[in-house]
Amino acid sequence: MSYARVLPPPSCMKLHRLAPALAPIGLGLLLAIVIGLHPLGEAASQYLLLLLILPWLLWGIRRGGKRQILIATSLGMAASLLALMRQPQQSIQDALLALVTLSCCGALSLQARIWRQRHQRSEKVRLSQQDLLENLIRHAPALLYIKDVNSRYLLASESYNRLLGQPDGLAGKTLESLFPPDEAALIRHNDQLALSRGESLTVEETIHIDGEARTFLAIKAPFQDDSGHWAGLACSSVDITERKAAEQALKETESKFQALANLPLLGIFIVQDGQLVYLNEQMISMTGYSAPELLVPLDQLPFLPAEEGRRLQRVIESRLRGDEPGYTQFRCHNKQGNALDALAQSVRFSHRGRPAVIGILLDMTEKNRALEQLRLTAKVFENASEGIVITDAEGRITAVNDAFSRVTGYTEQQAIGKRSRIFSRNRAVGGLGEDALQQLQQHGYWQGDIQDKHRQGHTYPVWLSISAVHDEHGQLSHHVAVFSDITARKEAETRLHYLANHDPLTGLPNRTLLHETLQHAMQAARLHEESLALFFIDLDRFKIVNDSLGHDAGDQLLQAATHRLAEVIGQQALLARIGGDEFVVLLERCHEIPVAAQWAERFLQAMAQPFSILGREFYLGCSIGISLFPHDGSDGHTLLKNADLAMYRAKEAGKNTYQFFAPEMNTRAFEFLMIEHSLRQAMAHEQLELHYQPQVRLQDQHMVGVEALLRWQHPELGQVPPSRFIPLAEETGLIVSLGAWLLQQSCLQLKQWHQEGRQGLRLSVNLSPRQFNHGSLLPTVQAAIQDSGIDPGCLELEITEGMIMQQPDEARRIMADLRRLGVRLAIDDFGTGYSSLANLKLFPIQTLKIDRAFITGLADSSSDRAIATTIIQLGKLLGMTVIAEGVENQQQLAFLNEHGCDIAQGYWFGAASRAASLPSSPVRSGAHPA
């Protein structure tokens, strides 16, 4: 089928195509009738003659000329005349019929002429259109081509020919000759699909051209032949390879964007017209706010402070002006109030046809923390005082810090790449040794001390900690070792061991070393069936000197006592100081009690000699308790405890003596513990009571005051003397609460006396050292005054010189605070301690109390008389009130009155009694306590 059949001829010209075939037949029949032959009969021949003229007319029309039509018409008319001449007998009707027939034939011939002319013109147009169409297809820049129903190419544009590498054209080519089988099958399938549907089909077809896959968008339009059957396909193709790539790239970009938008740490936002118009889920998760709360103007963002929001707005505006993209850091807070370090980067782009800015927001909080940790780790690595060395799995050094170089003497350049000797099995050259390496391999860690060798050749002790580091697959990747030169530590350990076992003041063994030595001595004594003696030595009157002259003087006194005891002992025994003014002597191979007694006498004689401190002489003495092994104890703790008990027994015996331990001493110690327990319960069970001793003005023998004294009536032990429980209360700290109770109750009693008419009566209360230095003293005194409502000037607090000399500045402050309350202050037992005129000058004191020790010896001791007279005169000169304690007879009273003492108290005026028994005037009968 040629492409000319694509444009079919007009239907009016189909009949004249038969004229050339019918004309010879008609001519033959016409000649037969003219010569008188009647093949169909004579009657029928007449009509047949006329009809036979029609082919000649058609032939004339087919030829297309007037001459042919005239010939055909003339032949027809001639044939009709001949027929009439041969049949004259026919009627005029037949003649007319023949003429009409000829006229019709002539008219038909003329119409046929018109038809032919039209056909010729139509044919020319058709051929012209066909040529035009073929030229358009061939020279069209588009990819156009025509196929038949078998997908064989009929015509194609030159651009399509060039595309397929067929410069001579594709006419007659099959798909299989042009494309691989799979591609040819796909194209044929699409062609048949278009033909079967009978309508245009648009499909994508991928073919390989010069080894490159190209994608085309093909439009296949089926067309029909003259008979109405599908004759082929008119096709056009567009190369959409780049478009497909762009679409794929767009899809990939969208996919990447979606993946990016779904990243758990990446917030994405779009800003347009000054407010957020888009944000991803991570932005919501990161800030904790909902989308409606975030899709607001930038300066209203809830997670940014207002100033930060305005700064972000300025950044967005700069992006819209076309400034280069950059990073911006923000410090914000999520909805829960947690701080976030955010890093934003943004760039200008078009959103819905208008300028906008798209950006990402990274939560840098953890990263910043990690970076800070890394910086800190690097800082620690570089500035660590310990040497740090990092090796690979084979032990080659990969990194060292500065301390490594300082400790080993090797520089970083000298160490990097070398195998560390840590992994040597020879400990003599600084290696870990077999056992340590095995432990490191099994447990991944080892620490201990080794001997390392310095670059200069000397060895030094090193404390090393080394750890194995494994990668994510569990394989050994590195070792990290941290080490330090412990030369100083070893020396310090030696020093610390010495300090831990020796008294720093005297250099003597302390309690720890004493127990250790005692343990060894007892083991040796058991082994050799020998005895040993333990002497517990406590210095007498040391506390008075220490409190009066201060700790520096006390330290000098202890050192002097140590030196003196050490001279007595020599190398024959161990001398230890176990605390305060307590010393212990351990004497081995002491088989007899008299030997121990002789040693005790030596100690007493040595300590009885005066000590010269700060240019003054002091007499101390000592009390000694002795326990013997194994008689008085089978272990060190028991032996020392029993010697301590014996020492207390020596003090109770008058001091400056010694006592051997006796079993009944444990009974007395138990009693001491029981008293301590009972004292804690005494206040709650109302076993404590107050007694008051009168203070009498000597000028008129009038009672001007009382001193409050604490008494304890135990339900089982009876009246417990103050000498037994006051020191215990001071030692255990109970004195603070006892003193507060005494002050509170005595002030209330004083108020009651004032209300009963004893106006002007003054109350004196003793303060203990612990109570004076306790932080609650001032509030306690203030509360007692306020609760009782007494005049503060009626309350006098008695303190000792030792109390104020321990910490003079602090004591001055406390006393000044008390004076501001209006309370009077008195120095108790004046003359027994370090009596200093500077103390009387610097401290706000109103009263001096002469200790009973000086009053007792007024009759017999000129020294006591001189001291008492001096104190009285000193008080007068300083404008202070002087009170004498312990007045028990007329002679003492007369002396004090003669020398101008202001006030006295003691048994001469009456023993201390309960408030209800206190007389309104003093008793002068010289009553003594029962």
CA 418, chain centre distance (Å): 38
255-264, 579-588, 836-845: which has the highest mean pLDDT? 579-588
pLDDT in tens, 782-830: 999 999 999 999 999 998 877 777 677 888 899 999 999 999 999 887 7
Residue 772 one-letter amino acid: F
How many other C-beta atoms can be found within 10 angstroms of the C-beta atom of residue 831? 19
Least confident of 16-25, 121-130, 695-704: 16-25
Our CA dihedral for 505, 511, 517, 519, rounded to 10 degrees, sits at 180
Predicted confidence (pLDDT) at residue 423 exceeds the cutoff of 90? no
Radius of gyration over every alpha carbon of the chain, rounded to an integer in angstroms: 68
What are the start-end ranges of the H helices in 210-278?
241-261
Tell me what pLDDT residue 153 has: 92
pLDDT of residue 15: 45
Lowest mean pLDDT among 369-373, 514-518, 587-591, 738-742: 369-373
The mean pLDDT value for 885-907 works out to 92
pLDDT band at 387 (very low <50, low <70, confident <90, very high): confident
Query: What is the rounded distance in angstroms from the CA atom of residue 30 to the CA atom of residue 75?
Result: 9
Residue-wise pLDDT tens digits, 165-207: 888 888 889 999 889 999 999 999 999 999 999 899 999 999 8
The residue written with tokens 């008119």 in the block is: 234
Per-residue model confidence as pLDDT tens digits over 476-505: 989 898 888 888 777 777 788 888 888 889
Does residue 41 surpass a pLDDT of 80?
no
At residue 16 the predicted structure's pLDDT band, cuts being 50, 70 and 90, is: very low
Asked if residue 884 has pLDDT above 50, the reply is yes
Q: What is the pLDDT of residue 85?
A: 58
Question: How does residue 2 score in pLDDT terms, banded at 50, 70 and 90?
Answer: very low
Q: Per-residue pLDDT averaged across 126-146, rounded?
A: 72
Spatial neighbors of 670 by CB under 8 A, at least 6 apart, are none
Pairing of strands 582-588, 574-579: antiparallel
What is the pTM assigned to this prediction?
A: 0.39
Q: How far is the C-alpha of 632 from the C-alpha of 663, rounded, in Å?
A: 8
**Residues 42-70, mean pLDDT to the nearest whole number:** 53
Residues in the chain: 930
Q: What is the arithmetic mean of pLDDT over 764-773?
A: 88
Question: What sign for the dihedral angle of Cα 601, 605, 606, 611?
Answer: positive
Residue for token pair 């610390």 = 496
Q: For residue 776, which amino acid is it?
A: S
- Rounded to whole angstroms, how far apart are CA atoms 599 and 223? 144
DSSP string computed for 126-156: HHHHHHHHHHHHHH-SSEEEEEETT--EEEE
Note the pLDDT of residue 667.
57
Is the four-CA dihedral 98, 102, 108, 111 of positive or negative sign?
A: negative
Give CA angle at 150 (146, 151), nearest 5°.
40
* Higher-confidence position of 254 and 173: 173
pLDDT value at position 796?
95
Q: Which residues pair with 202 in a beta bridge?
A: 219
Higher pLDDT, 96 or 634: 634
Supply the mean pLDDT for the chain.
81
Instruction: Reply yes or no on whether the pLDDT at 662 is more than 70.
Output: yes
Q: 519 is written with which tokens? A: 């343990």
Confidence of residue 64 (pLDDT cuts 50, 70, 90): very low
106/642: higher pLDDT: 642
> What's the rounded mean pLDDT across residues 44-51?
54
Torsion angle (degrees, nearest 10) of CA 551, 557, 562, 564: 180
Mean pLDDT for 396-404 is: 88
Residue 859's pLDDT band, with cuts at 50, 70 and 90, is confident
The average pLDDT across 632-643 equals 90
Extract the runs of DSSP E, i.e. beta strands, from 651-761. Answer: 658-660, 688-697, 702-714, 718-720
Question: What confidence score (pLDDT) does residue 4 get?
Answer: 40
pLDDT of residue 108: 58
φ/ψ of 660, rounded to 5, equals -85, 150
Contacts of 915 (CB under 8 A, 6+ apart): 690, 692, 749, 752, 753
Q: Give 319: exposed, middle or buried? Use CB within 10 Å, 0-12, 13-18, 19+.
A: buried
Tokens of 761: 């009566």
User: Comparing 110-119, 335-344, 510-519, 717-726, which segment has the lowest mean pLDDT?
Assistant: 110-119
CB 875 within 8 A of CB 856: no
Percent residues over pLDDT 70 in the chain: 81
Interatomic CA distance for residues 610 and 618, integer angstroms: 5
CB within 8 A of 533, min separation 6: which ones?
Answer: 586, 587, 590, 595, 596, 599, 626, 627, 628, 629
Could you tell me whether strands 762-766 and 795-800 are parallel, antiparallel, or unpaired per DSSP bridges? parallel
Helix, strand, or coil (residue 225): coil
Report the candidate in 176, 892, 831, 209 with the shortest Cα–Cα distance to residue 548: 831
Give dist(CA 671, CA 717) in Å, integer: 10
User: Does 58 have pLDDT greater than 90?
Assistant: no
The token pair that represents 908 in the structure block: 């001469």
